[in-house]
Structure 1
Amino acid sequence: MPAIVGVINVVSINSSSVLNIGDVFTIAPVSTAKTFAGAGSFNTGDQINVVNHYSNTNTYDSNVVDQPLALNL
């Protein structure tokens, strides 16, 4: 069934966003990311006590491509 869309106002769209107006069969955005963080970086909650006497984050990566996006539809 066709969609009837009225007036829209798009203020901004992020580079990793998807904007759909009307009918759509499949929306499948594809992206990859790699995050390096030290000890205790992603702890969330109330009253967390993290003791790191020595923290070293190894960011060396010998892989040229970790997850290729080619043919990943």
Structure 2
Amino acid sequence: MPAMIGAFKAISVSAGGVLQVGDTAAIVPKGTSKTCGGSGTFNTGDFILTQNILNTTNTIDMDASDQNIASGL
């Protein structure tokens, strides 16, 4: 089914990012990374109030790899 979209504004697409508009069969990333952040770390906006008394972030990863990327391109 065709996608019907209105006007949109792409402010920024980072290197390795994907901007998909309309129909697609597959979106394949070209890079992987892992970011660890605690409670309230990635909040965006005006007048954010985050109250954390005690906070820890578990960064232990027992997997050898999370998502393998194999590209034939």
Shorter-normalised TM-score: what interval?
0.5 to 0.7
**1:56 is matched with which residue?**
56
TM-score for the superposition, normalised by structure 2: 0.56
For residues 1-73 of structure 1, the aligned pairs below 5 Å read 30-71=30-71, 73=73
Judged with a 3 Å threshold, the aligned counterparts in structure 2 of structure 1 residues 29 and 59 are, in CA distance, closer, same or farther, namely closer
**Which segments of structure 1 move beyond 6 Å, counting only runs of 4 or more?**
none
- Secondary structure at the residue paired with 1:60? coil
Q: CA deviation at 1:69?
A: 1.2
Q: State how far apart, in whole Å, the 2-side matches of 1:29 and 1:40 are.
A: 27
Structure 1 gaps, min length 5: 1-15, 18-27
- Secondary structure at the residue paired with 1:38? coil
Q: CA deviation at 1:72?
A: 6.5
TM-score for the superposition, normalised by structure 1: 0.56
- Secondary structure at the residue paired with 1:61? coil
Q: State how far apart, in whole Å, the 2-side matches of 1:55 and 1:29 are.
A: 32
Structure 2 gaps, min length 5: 1-14, 17-27
- Across the two proteins, how many residue pairs are aligned to each other? 48
| Aligned-pair Cα RMSD in Å | 2.3
Question: Taking every aligned residue pair, what percent have the same amino acid on both sides?
Answer: 44
**1:6 is matched with which residue?**
none
Q: CA deviation at 1:71?
A: 4.4
